[in-house]
Amino acid sequence: MKKNEHNRTIRRRSMAGEVIDRLVRNKTAMIGLLILLIVVFSCIFANVICPEGYNSNDLPHRYMSPSIKFLFGTDSFGRSMLARVLYGGRNSLLIGFLATCLAAVIGIALGAICGYFGGAADIILMRFLDVLNAIPNLLLAIVISACLGTGKLNTVLAVGISFIPGFAKQVRGPVISLMGSDYIEAARSIDATNTRIIVRHVLPNVLSPLIVQFTLTIALSILCVSSLSFLGLGIQPPEPEWGALLSAGREYLTHYPYLCTFPGLGIALTVFSVNLFGDGLRDAIDPKLKN
Amino acid sequence: MENNTILSIRDLTVHYITREMGTCRAVNDFSLDIFRGETVGLVGETGAGKTTVALSIMRLLQTPPAKIVSGSIEYNGEDLLRKPVKQMRSIRGQEISMIFQDPMTALNPIDTVGKQIAEVIRLHQSVSDAEAAVKAGDMMELIGIPRDRYNEYPHQFSGGMKQRIVIAMALACSPQLLLADEPTTALDVTIQAQVLDKIDELKKMLNTSVLLITHDLGVVAGMCDRVVVMYAGEIVEYGTTREIFKHALHPYTKGLFNSLPSQDTERLKPIPGLMPDPSNLPERCKFEPRCEHCGEKCSACTPQLTEIRENHWVRCHYAQEG
Amino acid sequence: MEKSDNILEVKDLQKYFDVASGELHAVDHLTFSIRRGETLGVVGESGCGKSTLGRVLLHLVEPTGGEMRYNGEDITKVSRKRLSELRRQMQMIFQDPYSSLNPRFTVFQTIAEPMEIAGGFTKRQIEEKVYAMMDTVGLDRRLVNSYPHELDGGRRQRIGIGRALILEPEFIVCDEPVSALDVSIQAQIINLLLDIQEQRKLTYVFITHDMMVVKYISDRILVMYMGEVAELAESKKLFEKPLHPYTKALLSAVPVPDVDNRQQRIILKGEVTSPINPKPGCRFAARCRYATEICTCESPQPAEYEPGHLVSCHHAQEINKNI
């Protein structure tokens, strides 16, 4: 009698491997990723591409249209718009990213605690978060920003806090439905503490949709940072930032449109590519395709 | 085809083709005749292909990823597999009905039960709404639910009652053939008894044939005239219920009986190993890797279904020797 | 401390849940004992409270009232510390092999986790024990880094069994451990459980709705109906001579794979009554053909009909006198 024990043991790659495989095959997602990487790396290497910095005045060359020498033109102080946009990109991207991280860490923790423990804590916290959620993101960010003032840290806080309810609610739902799973009960039966259960059993199993949420929130938060700066909060001159640059160039839109075009393009390309990639990521992780 | 045959399946082969798993040969050269008024039990474990066969008859397979590679299913002289979709719709529910395992999800939660039964009647018979409602009420009485519960919603009924409502819907138009896919697996034993009795009663009254898909040999013993045992997409044994239960010949069938804790045996004798991966089936006899009695012939050539005893067919080279 | 014959004693155990429409009596006034080394089968249909009972015994759900004694010690209310210690001795095997394993844990991680939580083991010791356990439960060592979704139900259930046994408990609650498995795999797992029980001298509480399995595996059987004891007897006795009307109906409803032995089914009328805010009286009365006035007023208490055979029925004597 032959033993053929492996018949049902389908040796697949790990789940992450499958996800990456599906992702890589998605052309639009890869295009999005490519554009994003181009934008990000250009900003990271701003000091290589524009060694003169973002604040080097060159008054004789004010308001010059894009040319070979000044790829994106110059602004009212003769500063290279290319430099302004690239250094500005650093701020926009970094602050957007950090704000999202802040929102994710706090939001996930809150959502997990609410979902896991339930009861009074859940009710109170969720009502509070509901109130926050009812206020449009930008408005909330404006209010917090107005209280805290301008500057990088304050902007990170303002934008970050405004996205916390979104993450909390995204986590809470899946956590609650996970609580019905037997393996949570099994973990209790082997004497796991609540912390251990949340960290090792609950969170890893709700993180998949959060990855997508995270990606898409980055796009929104970059937009939010730019909007704040556009409105006079957030990051202000001489620090460059895409939204601030838009605001500065607004008056001259008819005469020198390039002052707005390139910062605007920066925002648009980033948000667009992040969304493309995020959508692809969501499709790749989609549980319907698993088993 | 004799006048007595309702459905004639010939050499049905169905594959599931996915990127992750390759080609899963779910059903291989499956042939079966179902006669008028009989109950045929289709027995096998998970992955044997039983549900795929039923869905193929109803043309409810998702194609892709499923693909009906070859074969024919003749009903009333016409091949169902080659019928246009529109004609299949008129057959489903009226001529051939199906009930599924989980009664909780088979009913629409936002419609009253009476309305759902009446809808089936209206779809297939040209009667007025009022007449359909009356007939639906009749069906309800038939399955043991008072007619005055016509306007209640599914959530107001228990699992067993919901399944009976599903049966009422399936039999409302007196179909020739009822496909029942594990209709009582999700129900308690005492409720299962009620539901199975009902199916039996109605079947006799309407002279409906039933293809009962189940893994429970106890249910088969009580309900079925003939039994078909499936393994890895093929029929390995079939015959009258008495023949199969008294004189099981295929090693798999015998293994199934030995796995049952109903005998007063010292120790259960389970079949070692697992059903083969349908995307990687053994070449000749599909059961060979798990078989205790295999010999040279088994890996050399594929066994065919042969009539070993009267009305008893087995797919095994060594069946005669037991 | 000298160990008495009973590993677990339950007295008047209650578990009530607060639900929207009132109080759900999942387990009500349950009294029974379990002898060391035996297998007590607990049967009943959905809603009878058997799963809840299993969870109350292991403190996964806190009892509302009553008393539980483990090896003579009162464990109805325990400190967190004592509970940790008890959990090394009392474990559970879960029903659904598909949802009782963390999908992100490998086989190794799942089986090793109880040791990590308990602490005091070196990495080496954990590894050795996990591999040894995989051998015991019949898992190929090569599967050690596999994930649940790569494996079939039978193998997953073996992982669950490994997890439950790794700290060498003496008391295991098996909550429908084979119900979700195919017939041939069921048999494999049942044999495994019996082998392990013999090797390690374990006591099982075997919860199931499958009458054939429970007959095969149990020494004694407790039949539950709506949270209460309907009947408690030795396995063989229960099947030869069921006393309670519900037990009789239950046994007659079981489909027997025998073409010759066709028994008459006792069909119960009506539906299962609700365990929420139950009225006084026997909970089975509404469906029972022997019910009289007293059945609707007074709850029957479990009484010893014969030595070792308890039944909760006012009319137990009359119904069974000609058997």
pLDDT in tens, A192-241: 999 999 989 998 888 877 888 898 899 999 999 999 988 888 888 788 88
Within an 8 Å CB–CB cutoff, is residue B161 touching chain C? Answer: yes
Nearest alpha-carbon partner for A241 in A223, A215, A258: A223
Within an 8 Å CB–CB cutoff, is residue A188 touching chain C? Answer: yes
Q: Please tell me which of the candidates B215, B260, B270 has its beta carbon nearest to residue C212.
A: B260
Bridge-based pairing state of the strands B96-99 and B78-79: unpaired
Length in residues, chain B: 322
pLDDT of amino acid C279: 84
pLDDT of amino acid A9: 37
Arithmetic mean of pLDDT, B98-115 = 86
Alpha helices in A26-178 (DSSP H): 27-44, 46-49, 81-117, 119-134, 137-148, 152-178
pLDDT of amino acid B1: 43
Give C-chain residues touching B194 at CB under 8 angstroms.
267
* pLDDT above 90 (res C244): yes
- Domain-embedded: residue B265: yes
Within an 8 Å CB–CB cutoff, is residue A16 touching chain C? Answer: no
Q: C84: nearest CA in chain A?
A: A191
**Selected residue of C58, C102, C156, C205 to mutate for chain A interface (largest A Cβ count, 10 A):** C102
Nearest alpha-carbon partner for B186 in B214, B154, B157: B214
Do the Cβ atoms of B277 and A12 come within 8 Å? no
Within an 8 Å CB–CB cutoff, is residue C158 touching chain A? Answer: no
* pLDDT above 70 (res B265): no
**Selected residue of C91, C113, C173 to mutate for chain A interface (largest A Cβ count, 10 A):** C113
Amino acid present at A20: I
Please state which of the ranges B242-251, C15-24, C124-133, C264-273 shows the lowest mean pLDDT. Answer: C264-273
Q: A13: nearest CA in chain B?
A: B20
Within an 8 Å CB–CB cutoff, is residue C101 touching chain A? Answer: yes
Do the Cβ atoms of C150 and A15 come within 8 Å? no
Q: What distance in Å separates residue B56's CA from the closest CA in chain A?
A: 22
C238: Cβ contacts below 8 Å, ≥ 6 apart: C221, C223, C231, C247
- A18-52+74-289 folds as MetI-like fold (1.10.3720)
Alpha helices in A179-257 (DSSP H): 182-189, 194-196, 203-230, 242-249
Do the Cβ atoms of A205 and C104 come within 8 Å? yes
Percent of chain C with pLDDT over 70: 98
Give dist(CA B43, CA B216) in Å, integer: 8
* pLDDT above 50 (res C1): no
What token pair was written down for B279?
């995307």
DSSP letters for C95-126 = S-TTTSS-TTS-HHHHHHHHHHHH----HHHH
Q: What is the DSSP letter of A61?
A: G
Give dist(CA C36, CA C154) in Å, integer: 28
Give B-chain residues touching C154 at CB under 8 angstroms.
274
Do the Cβ atoms of A187 and C87 come within 8 Å? no
For residue C86, which phi and psi values (nearest 5 degrees)?
-65, -35
Give dist(CA A125, CA A120) in Å, integer: 8
How many domains does one find in chain B? 1
- Rg over alpha carbons for chain C, rounded to the nearest Å, is 21
Give dist(CA C105, CA C113) in Å, integer: 10
Bridge-based pairing state of the strands C203-208 and C39-43: parallel
Q: Is the pTM of this model over 0.80?
A: yes
Range of the domain at B296: 248-322
Do the Cβ atoms of A189 and C87 come within 8 Å? yes
Q: Please tell me which of the candidates C188, C215, C259 has its beta carbon nearest to residue B261.
A: C215
Q: Please tell me which of the candidates A1, A8, A18 has its beta carbon nearest to residue B274.
A: A8
Helix (H) / strand (E) element for B18: namely strand B5-18
CATH of C6-89+169-319, one of 1.10.3720.10, 3.30.70.20, 3.40.50.300, 3.40.630.30: 3.40.50.300
A127: Cβ contacts below 8 Å, ≥ 6 apart: none
C151-173 burial code (b ≥16 CB/10 A, e <16): bbbbbbbbbbbbbbbbbebbbbb
Give A-chain residues touching C146 at CB under 8 angstroms.
9
Q: A290: nearest CA in chain B?
A: B20
Within an 8 Å CB–CB cutoff, is residue C84 touching chain A? Answer: yes
Block residue for tokens 């973002």:
A54
Q: What is the DSSP letter of A12?
A: P
Q: Which chains touch A (3 or more CB pairs under 8 A)?
A: B, C
Nearest alpha-carbon partner for C154 in B48, A12, B273: B273
- Using CA atoms, how far residue B49 sits from A272, B26, B34, B223, B313, in Å, is 46, 5, 18, 21, 19
Q: Where are the beta strands (DSSP E) in chain C?
A: 6-19, 22-35, 39-43, 65-70, 73-74, 90-93, 171-175, 203-208, 220-225, 228-234, 303-306, 309-311
Q: In chain C, what are the domain boundaries?
A: 6-89+169-319
pLDDT of amino acid C156: 93
pLDDT in tens, C68-120: 999 989 999 999 999 999 999 999 999 888 889 998 899 999 999 999 999 89
**Selected residue of B45, B156, B189, B287 to mutate for chain C interface (largest C Cβ count, 10 A):** B189
Q: C163: nearest CA in chain A?
A: A190
pLDDT in tens, A241-270: 898 888 888 888 888 888 889 889 999 999
ipTM for the predicted complex comes to 0.87
* pLDDT above 70 (res C139): yes
Give B-chain residues touching A1 at CB under 8 angstroms.
272, 290-292, 294
Q: How confident is the model at residue B264 (pLDDT cuts 50, 70, 90)?
A: low
pLDDT tens, residue order, chain A (291 aa): 223 333 333 334 456 777 788 788 888 999 999 999 999 999 998 888 888 888 888 888 888 888 888 888 888 888 888 888 998 899 899 999 999 999 999 999 999 999 999 888 889 988 988 898 888 888 999 999 999 988 889 999 999 999 999 899 989 989 998 888 889 999 999 999 999 999 899 988 888 778 888 988 999 999 999 999 888 888 887 888 898 888 888 888 888 888 889 889 999 999 999 999 988 888 877 645 443
Nearest alpha-carbon partner for C180 in C58, C94, C55: C94
